[in-house]
Structures are given as C-alpha cells and as structure tokens.
Structure 1
C-alpha cells in the first residue's frame, strides 16, 4: 500500500501539470510524457557529472522547466487555436522527434540512475516492518510538492489566475489576466513537476527512450477520474490509480493462486490488475461524468 501511495504521488506530479494545461488552455499535449523522460535523462546526466543526487535533481528540474517553456513559446503556442485533432497529431510528432533527439544524444541503451547512497537501504517504520528509505523519501517529496502546488493555486495571485482560467478562460482573459505569460509559466511548472517525477522514478523503473508514453496513459486516466482542470482531483485520482494498480499487482496473483495454478496466477494477475484501473475509471465516469472534482462546476 505504501508503494501505491508512492506511485500515486509521482503520478500526481505528472497529472497536475497535464490537467492544468488541458483545463486552462484546452490543449491536449501528448508530449507531456516526453518532458518526464527528459527530466529523467537530465537527472542521470547531472548526477553523473556532479556526483551529488540532489544537485543533479535541482539542475534537471531547472533545465526541464526551461525546455518546457521553450517548447510552449516556439511550437505549442501555435496550436492553441487549432482543434484537438491537430493538437494530438502535432504533439504526437513531438514525441517521435524528442525520442530521436534523446537517442542521438544519449544513445539507445538505458542510463543508470541510482538512489542516493544514504537512502539505498531499508528503514524500520514500525516494529518488524522495514521499508525502502528511498521510496519513503519519494512519498515525503511528493507530499511537500503537492502542498506547495496547492498553496500556489489557492493562495497566490497566479493561482487565482489559474483557477479563473480553468473555470472560464475567455472571461478571465476579458478581465485582464495575462494569458500568454501565464501559459508559458504554466508549461514551465508542469515540465518541472515532470522532471521531479522522472528523477525519482528513474532509479526504480528505468531511464530509457520511450519511458514517457506508458506513464502518460496513466496520467490521462488520472485527470479523467479527478476532473479536468482540478489539482485536487488530480491528487485524489492519482492516489486511487496508484493504490489500485499496485495493490492489484500485489494481491491478485495471491488470490488467483488459491483457485488456479501458480503459473496461471502469475500471468493472469498483472493483466487483471491493469484492467482494474480502467474499470475504476468507468465506474467513476458512470456516476460522475465530469470526474470527481471538475473545475468547471
């Protein structure tokens, strides 16, 4: 269950920027997962250069945020007035281009990104219960970033603009909200959140070309469950998806082994766990078609 919370918080970092971009700009950005991949690659590179994990993460976050703002300013800004099909095609092309650029710069082989030496072992969180210190750190970082994002959205003027844009973009623009700088800033924040997720999931998963596509699907599931444009919905949806996915992979093979052979249980369990996420989405949409916490209510 702790693994589910940890995975859910990292999904939240991806989904938060994606849901704000979709909710405020009405922009479907399939290249959002590519920023996650860039963040992981930059982290592995900077950690290798500096030898300090936390400094590498900081440099990667800044670098990915700048890349995200550059993409918005140079390419994505031209797509705001286009229909969703044009946005999907253009950002899918960006995925292919970014994948090839990453392959040219870093090669096709996965990069090694290890957890900090001081966090590589387990820690006793309860009597008789040991848990990975690095995963526990990920939970802490995810909670701190989520709290900071909530403070930004709910207690600052920029956050007020973001909430107004998510509720009614045309009215917010008519009332004098600086839309273009806001969009660029929003892309930078979303890219920085992607970089944090890539930096901390890299040592657990793998830093490789194409790593953003699979997790992007889960991020879209999260924002559909939580409600487009809602940061609170992204957090709740991410935790639900993370816990359901991880608990399903852990417990379904055990349950199936009671009625089937171990081989069948080990093969069928993960497949059914993957289905559970989409079943959860279908149930939520049946009762709440706009998601759990839609921004436009």
Structure 2
C-alpha cells in the first residue's frame, strides 16, 4: 500500500471524525445534562441533509443553504423538544427510548412522503470541486472544506462552553444538574437551548455530508450508532471527549477498512482476506469501545466533578 493512499485515507478518517463530532457534541450534552436518551438525533441529521439539499437545489447557492439551514434546524429542534420530548425528562429511559424510536419512524416516513423513496441528490458546489495539494498529494477540495468547517465548529463549541456564561451553566449542569436548578437557573430553558443547539449541529453535519453521500430516508441510523460509540469512548457529557473520540473513531474506521484487507492478504488467501478484512474492519471501533470500557468505564475524557 502506497504512502499517498495511507495519507488520503487518514484525511478521509479525519473528515468522518469531524462529522461524527458535530453529531456527538450536542447529543453528549443532552445525555450528560438532561439525562435524556435521544435516539432521534440521527433523524435530525437526516432532516438537516434534506433541508440543505432542497434549498441548494432550489437556489443553487451553497452559502444560502447554509445560512437558512441554521434557523430551520433551530426551529425544528425547539418544536420537537416542546411537542414530543418535554414531558419525558422525568420519565425513565425505557419511555424515552420508545418515544424517540417512534420519532425515527415518523421522520423516515415524513421524508418518504415529501421527497420520495429514492435518494435525493445534492451536488458538490462548483466552486468547491477540484483538488488541493497537501504534502504533494491531491485531495478533494470539498472534503478538505468539511475538515476545516468541522474544526472551526469544534473551536466555536470550545469557546462557547469554556468562555461564556452559558457555557459555565452547561458545564455546571453536566456535573450537577440538580444544584444548577436549585441556584435559580431556568433548567427548562437550558434544556430547550441545548436540544436546539444539538439539532443545529446535527443539521450542519447533514449539510456537509449531503454532497458526498446520498440523501435518503433512514440515513440517520447508521451514523447514530457511530455517534453512540464516540460518546461512550469520549465520556458522556464531555465536549472535549466527543472531539477526540470522534477523530479516533473516524481514523480507526477508515484506515481499518483500507489497511486490514491488505494486511490479511500477506498471510491468507486473497479470497479469504477479502471477506475477513472488511468484517474485522467493521468490528474495529466496537472492539476499541470495549477496550476503553474495560480500562476506563467513564470514557477517556469524563466530565470532572470539580
């Protein structure tokens, strides 16, 4: 395997990692502060992809699609939280799982009714086509933009959480939600804002993924599983943990699918290696999660209770 291929796949893993971070950042705070199991987070990612694709295909402007997507996802997040989830915060996790699983079915059927059962395509913007030279290797401009945008959002999340009053309340809520409420903070409003922020981040992930993946009903469930793995590895409620774990998972998953089949061919028959390689690669992140749980049950970067 060539060095250039390894670098390209590592960058692809980084790109997957930043998308996973956009998904995990909001969801880990919902878990950590609200103690709420939201299986419908992947559906918000799917709706963001459909919204962005529709706006882009109608206007032809990727920038306009980005600008309009943020208030649209903010409104959708607030509406879902207020209509369907607000009364479930005090219920047990089984009720939350059942309710949010129902939302998955609802949104999947809604997208089929509006956009049809076939994939709904969103082209890469013409201004972002072509390649960029990185270390002498040609890499697609749009994928590099995804990496850059994800890192900028990660920086914005860091500044929000660590440098603002709202961030102070978020960190305090992740540590001791009850005490924050006793001190007079409107925990109901904080919950709504957190859920809406998570919806916006998931929608932005859908926007960025739309041009390189087919936008279709049910696209939220596979990435939700990876997002759950990221949260478990990083530590529930930890933005820092979500960031580092997302990059680790993205790189491990992408390089595993590329490198493992080639390694197995060196000591197995090609047909056997071609079957076993992808199977082992798909297991790699779950084996990684199991290893992390065995040595650090709270995740690599748990929220500090100080």
Shorter-chain TM-score: what band?
over 0.9
Q: Which runs of 5+ in 2 are unaligned?
A: 1-9
SS in 2 for 1:291: coil
CA offsets per residue over residues 68-115 of structure 1, 9 Å max, x none? 111111111110000000100010011001111111111101011111
Tell me the equivalent position of 1:19.
28
Match of 1:122 among 121, 131, 134: 131
Tell me the equivalent position of 2:4.
none
With the length of structure 2 as denominator, give the TM-score of the two structures: 0.95
SS in 2 for 1:294: coil
Tell me the equivalent position of 1:153.
161
Tell me the equivalent position of 1:210.
218
Tell me the equivalent position of 1:240.
248
Tell me the equivalent position of 2:264.
256
Q: Provide the aligned C-alpha RMSD in A.
A: 1.0
Match of 1:30 among 36, 39, 43: 39
Task: Assess, with a 3 A threshold, how the Cα gap between structure 1 residues 203 and 267 changes in structure 2: closer, same or farther.
Answer: farther
Tell me the equivalent position of 2:300.
292
CA distance in 2, matches of 1:173, 1:71: 23
Q: In the alignment, is the contact (CA less than 8 A) between 1:20 and 1:231 conserved in 2? A: yes
- Counting matched residue pairs gives 296
Match of 2:238 among 215, 230, 244: 230
CA distance in 1, matches of 2:214, 2:276: 24
With the length of structure 1 as denominator, give the TM-score of the two structures: 0.97
CA offsets per residue over residues 184-219 of structure 1, 9 Å max, x none? 111111011001111111122220100000110110
SS in 1 for 2:300: coil
Tell me the equivalent position of 2:139.
131
SS in 1 for 2:236: coil
CA distance in 1, matches of 2:171, 2:97: 24
Q: How far does residue 296 in structure 1 lie from its aligned partner after superposition?
A: 4.7
CA distance in 1, matches of 2:108, 2:227: 19
